[in-house]
């Protein structure tokens, strides 16, 4: 009898502590493109303001948005805007999503370092990824089959690339899907005839293709500068979504991320910071 | 002589104790039924809700569809497209290919190891082989998947000069590694259970060791070995992590083992986390889950039935 009381008491203490910690915990879930930034911001913020606990995890923009809608996260990181279906669902559930751009991102096209091809136009990229162009020699490379690597269909990067570059057409069914940009980079680095796409913050061991929106236009290689000044065409805003306008701890966190300090941290780990005007515009009064 | 003394127990305590243990035994059965009901419940809108039936009805999942006017009708899995496509056929082919390759790889190795272990190995060898193969069973599937993704895929691509680095062969071999212990254990048990009298009779008729094994023991153990293969197949069909990491996840319909595949299990794992709750995509994923459940249930049930019947026959009980 005594033993069981002891165990019960211990369990209550553990649960109680859990509830206490949960009270001042901020959960951030969502985009795999943003997760590194979220984690770094969480680390630095917790260093500056001890007493807050921030938990960051990935899973894809779609996962984060679903979590926001079912209340299992405070902040949703997303590398794309919410779809109409998702806005509708939010309305049904009585949630007003509040969107803040926290950084910019360029989507690079990854090629194997030994691939002779360097420049690609939107039209060529579309042909490659929808399956109408299947051989590297059609775009000036070796006579070899193009091996397509991409993301799963819950990825914001997948959706953005499809809407922006493929004009909403379907990816070729031969696109091999990988669970994150790091996996795509890894796959392309091991495959001489591979091509992949993903956030520029992730590339190691592959080279970037220089992309031009128009045939005959200027080919631009993605970098922090070319994305920030808009010359690199495949670029997008990275968002944090909240349930309604953030207040209290959440407001403090997002304003800190938008501050010079937060944006500098983003730049240090290869994300593209917002321009000072934009950052000021998004800061919550 | 020591006397055992039992305290007289109250009839109520005995009754409750019995019922409590019985409930525990039934919990597993109840859990299976409830799990199936929950999964199938989420899949029912495919048959009942008219909007969902329009987008993803049974006929749309099974037959070729002309998704765009004028283009040829085909099977395609693109649930997040402007025109959502829910053909299950590419996924079915993918699942089948992976499981087939796994069995082609695991069955000969598992059965071979079982024959060696039960017929030819010395006592010491036996004690080494069994635990080592069962060690294979202890490797988490995510580790096998990681191995296939990082090392096996590169090895296969270099040795065979493959176009696609992540393909059915890669996933199938890793799957086979996970299945070998299942086939081995059951096959070895089956061969060990063949009565010694059968072997002695064959030897008395002049057979040498090989002949005893291959002409007498193996055929006698065949039902058990077959059950092992069937149970291994069931495992290969349901396995998720290995195929998710090593197969390329491309929903291609082709006969080649060297193309990428997308399986039922990997599709659920990759897509369920994000899908909009209550949508057609959601119901289709649960429908796939129900299919997997029913299929593996039937396979495991059949396999277990055979094994039980063999046990009864050998033990001579009813």
pLDDT in tens, B19-34: 888 888 899 889 989 9
Q: Rounded CA gap, A167 and B82, in Å?
A: 10
**Nearest neighbour of A170 by CB, restricted to B78, B244, B271:** B78
3-state secondary structure of B202: helix
On average, the pLDDT of chain B sits at 88
Question: Residue A195, CB half-sphere, CA atoms under 13 Å: how many?
Answer: 30
A137 and A74 fall within a common domain: no
Q: Give the CA dihedral B126, B127, B131, B133, nearest 10 degrees.
A: -20
Does any CB of chain B come closer than 8 Å to the CB of residue A68?
Answer: no
Over the stretch A48-80, which tens digit does the pLDDT of each residue have?
Answer: 988 889 999 988 888 888 889 888 999 999 988
Confidence (pLDDT) at A89: 86
Confidence (pLDDT) at A171: 92
Greatest Cα-to-Cα distance within chain A, rounded to the nearest angstrom = 83
A168 and A203 fall within a common domain: yes
A241: nearest Cα among A89, A121, A136, A14: A89
Angstroms from A209 CA to nearest CA on chain B = 21
pLDDT at A22 over 60: no
Confidence (pLDDT) at A202: 67
List of chain A residues whose C-beta atoms are within 8 Å of the C-beta of residue B85:
170
Q: Do A152 and B165 touch (CB under 8 A)?
A: no
Between residues 102 and 141 of chain A, which touch chain B (CB distance below 8 Å)?
none
Q: Do A85 and B165 touch (CB under 8 A)?
A: no
Q: Rounded CA gap, A241 and A279, in Å?
A: 16
B28 and B130 fall within a common domain: no
Going by the DSSP 8-state scheme, the letter that residue B72 receives in this structure is: P
Confidence (pLDDT) at A20: 55
A99 and A111 fall within a common domain: no
Over the stretch B254-270, which tens digit does the pLDDT of each residue have?
Answer: 989 999 999 999 999 98
Q: Do B271 and A174 touch (CB under 8 A)?
A: no
Residue B263 inside a domain? The answer is yes
Q: Do A145 and B163 touch (CB under 8 A)?
A: yes
List of chain B residues whose C-beta atoms are within 8 Å of the C-beta of residue A154:
80, 270-271, 273-275
Average pLDDT for residues B278-288, to the nearest whole number?
90
A95 and A113 fall within a common domain: no
A112 and A212 fall within a common domain: yes
What is the token pair recorded at B306?
Answer: 């055979």
Confidence band of A16 (pLDDT split at 50, 70, 90): low
Residue B2 inside a domain? The answer is no
DSSP letters, B282-297, are: HHHHHHHHHHHHHHHH
B24 and B152 fall within a common domain: no
B150 and B290 fall within a common domain: yes
Angstroms from B63 CA to nearest CA on chain A = 18
- Residue B258 belongs to a domain with what CATH number? 1.10.3720.10
B36 and B109 fall within a common domain: no
A114 and A223 fall within a common domain: yes
Confidence (pLDDT) at A21: 55
The secondary element (H helix, E strand) that includes residue B62 is: helix B58-62
B127 and B177 fall within a common domain: yes
Which residue of A lies nearest to B279 if distances are taken between CA atoms?
A85
User: No. of H helices and E strands in chain B?
Assistant: 15, 2
Confidence (pLDDT) at A18: 61
Q: How many domains does chain A have?
A: 2
A110 and A223 fall within a common domain: yes
The secondary element (H helix, E strand) that includes residue B306 is: helix B280-315
| Residue A26 contacts residue A75 (beta carbons within 8 Å) | yes
Residue B54 inside a domain? The answer is no
**Nearest neighbour of B251 by CB, restricted to A70, A145, A173:** A173
- Whether pTM > 0.90 for this model: the answer is no
B37 and B110 fall within a common domain: no
Percent of chain B with pLDDT over 90: 46
pLDDT at A278 over 90: no
Residue B74 inside a domain? The answer is no
Q: How many domains does chain B have?
A: 2
- Residue A182 belongs to a domain with what CATH number? 3.40.190.10
Confidence (pLDDT) at A19: 58
A14 and A87 fall within a common domain: yes
Q: Do A170 and B249 touch (CB under 8 A)?
A: no
A187 and A243 fall within a common domain: no
Which residue of B lies nearest to A178 if distances are taken between CA atoms?
B248
Query: Which of A4-18, B31-45, B163-177 shows the lowest per-residue confidence on average (mean pLDDT)?
Result: A4-18
pLDDT at B313 over 90: no
pLDDT at B126 over 50: yes
A203 and A274 fall within a common domain: no
B38 and B117 fall within a common domain: no
The parent domain of residue B30 ranges over 11-43
Confidence (pLDDT) at A285: 82
A246 and A219 fall within a common domain: no
Over the stretch B60-104, which tens digit does the pLDDT of each residue have?
Answer: 888 888 888 778 888 989 888 888 889 999 999 999 999 999 999
B91 and B165 fall within a common domain: yes
Over the stretch A222-254, which tens digit does the pLDDT of each residue have?
Answer: 888 888 877 888 988 899 999 999 888 899 999
pLDDT at B275 over 60: yes
A55 and A81 fall within a common domain: yes
Decide: residue B88, CB within 10 A, 0-12 exposed, 13-18 middle, 19+ buried: buried
**Nearest neighbour of A85 by CB, restricted to B154, B248, B276:** B276
B18 and B104 fall within a common domain: no
Confidence band of B318 (pLDDT split at 50, 70, 90): very low
The parent domain of residue A266 ranges over 2-104+237-282
More confident: B70 or B143:
B143
On average, the pLDDT of chain A sits at 87
Strand partners, A238: A103
Going by the DSSP 8-state scheme, the letter that residue B74 receives in this structure is: B
| Residue A60 contacts residue A32 (beta carbons within 8 Å) | yes
Confidence (pLDDT) at A228: 80
More confident: B10 or B2:
B10
B127 and B37 fall within a common domain: no
Percent of chain A with pLDDT over 90: 46
Residue B48 inside a domain? The answer is no
DSSP letters, chain A, are: -HHHHHHHHHHHHHHHHHHHHHHTEEEEEE-TTTHHHHHHHHHHHHHHSBTBEEEEEEE-HHHHHHHHHTTS-SEEEESSPPPHHHHHHHHHTT--EEEEEEEEEEEEEEE-TT-S--EEEHHHHHHHHHTS--BGGGGTS-SSBPEEEEE-TT-HHHHHHHHHTSTTPPPPTTPEEESSHHHHHHHHHT-TTEEEEEEGGG--SSEEPEEESSTTS--B---HHHHHTT-SSSEEEEEEEEESS--HHHHHHHHHHHSHHHHHHHHHTTPBPPPHHHHHHHS--
Q: Give the CA dihedral B295, B301, B303, B307, nearest 10 degrees.
A: 180
Q: Do A154 and B250 touch (CB under 8 A)?
A: no
Over the stretch A162-217, which tens digit does the pLDDT of each residue have?
Answer: 988 999 899 998 999 988 888 899 889 988 999 999 988 767 889 999 999 888 78
């Amino acid at each position: 009898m005594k033993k069981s009381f002891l165990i019960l008491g211990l369990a209550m203490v553990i649960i109680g502590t859990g509830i206490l910690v949960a009270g001042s915990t901020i959960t951030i879930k969502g985009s795999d493109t943003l997760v590194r930034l979220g984690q770094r911001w969480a680390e630095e913020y917790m260093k500056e303001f001890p007493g807050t606990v921030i938990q960051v995890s990935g899973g894809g923009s779609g996962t984060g948005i679903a979590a926001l809608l079912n209340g299992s996260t405070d902040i949703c990181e997303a590398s794309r805007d919410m779809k109409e279906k998702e806005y509708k669902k939010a309305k049904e559930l009585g949630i007003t999503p509040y969107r803040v751009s926290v950084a910019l991102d360029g989507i690079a096209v990854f090629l194997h370092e030994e691939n002779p091809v360097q420049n690609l136009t939107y039209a060529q990229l579309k042909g490659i990824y929808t399956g109408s162009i299947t051989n590297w020699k059609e775009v000036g490379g070796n006579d070899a089959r193009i091996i397509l690597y991409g993301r799963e269909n819950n990825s914001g990067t997948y959706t953005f690339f499809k809407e922006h570059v493929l004009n909403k057409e379907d990816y070729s069914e031969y696109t091999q899907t990988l669970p994150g940009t790091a996996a795509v980079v890894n796959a392309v680095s091991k495959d001489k005839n591979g091509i992949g796409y993903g956030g520029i913050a992730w590339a190691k061991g592959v080279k970037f293709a220089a992309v031009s929106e128009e045939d005959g236009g200027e080919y631009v290689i993605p970098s922090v500068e070319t994305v920030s000044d808009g010359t690199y065409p495949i670029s997008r805003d990275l968002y944090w979504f909240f349930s309604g306008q953030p207040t209290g701890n959440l407001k403090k966190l997002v304003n800190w991320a938008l501050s010079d300090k937060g944006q500098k941290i983003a730049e240090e780990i290869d994300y593209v910071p917002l321009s000072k005007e934009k950052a000021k515009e998004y800061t919550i009064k | 002589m020591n006397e055992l003394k039992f305290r007289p127990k109250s009839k109520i305590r005995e009754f409750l104790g019995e019922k409590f243990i019985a409930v525990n035994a039934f919990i597993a059965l109840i859990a299976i039924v409830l799990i199936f009901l929950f999964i199938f419940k989420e899949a029912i809108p495919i048959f009942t809700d008219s909007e969902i039936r329009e987008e993803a009805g049974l006929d749309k999942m099974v037959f070729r569809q002309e998704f765009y006017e004028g283009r040829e009708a085909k099977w395609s899995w693109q649930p997040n497209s402007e025109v959502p496509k829910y053909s299950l056929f590419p996924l079915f082919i993918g699942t089948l290919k992976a499981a087939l390759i796994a069995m082609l790889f695991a069955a000969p190795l598992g059965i071979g190891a079982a024959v060696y272990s039960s017929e030819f190995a010395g006592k010491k060898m036996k004690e080494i082989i069994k635990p080592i193969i069962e060690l294979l069973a202890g490797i988490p599937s995510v580790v096998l998947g990681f191995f296939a993704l990082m090392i096996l895929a590169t090895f296969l691509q270099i040795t065979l000069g493959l176009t696609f680095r992540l393909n059915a062969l890669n996933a199938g071999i890793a799957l086979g590694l996970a299945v070998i212990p299942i086939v081995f254990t059951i096959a070895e048990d089956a061969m060990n259970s063949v009565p010694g009298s059968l072997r002695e009779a064959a030897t008395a008729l002049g057979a040498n060791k090989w002949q005893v094994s291959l002409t007498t023991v193996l055929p006698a153990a065949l039902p058990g070995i077959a059950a092992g293969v069937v149970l291994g197949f069931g495992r290969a069909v349901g396995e998720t992590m290995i195929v998710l990491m090593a197969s390329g996840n491309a929903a291609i319909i082709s006969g080649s083992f060297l193309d990428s595949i997308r399986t039922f299990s990997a599709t659920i794992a990759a897509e369920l986390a994000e899908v909009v709750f209550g949508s057609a995509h959601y119901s289709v994923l649960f429908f796939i889950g129900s299919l997997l459940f029913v299929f593996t249930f039937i396979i495991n049930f059949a396999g277990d039935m055979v094994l039980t019947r063999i046990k009864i026959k050998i033990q001579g009980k009813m």
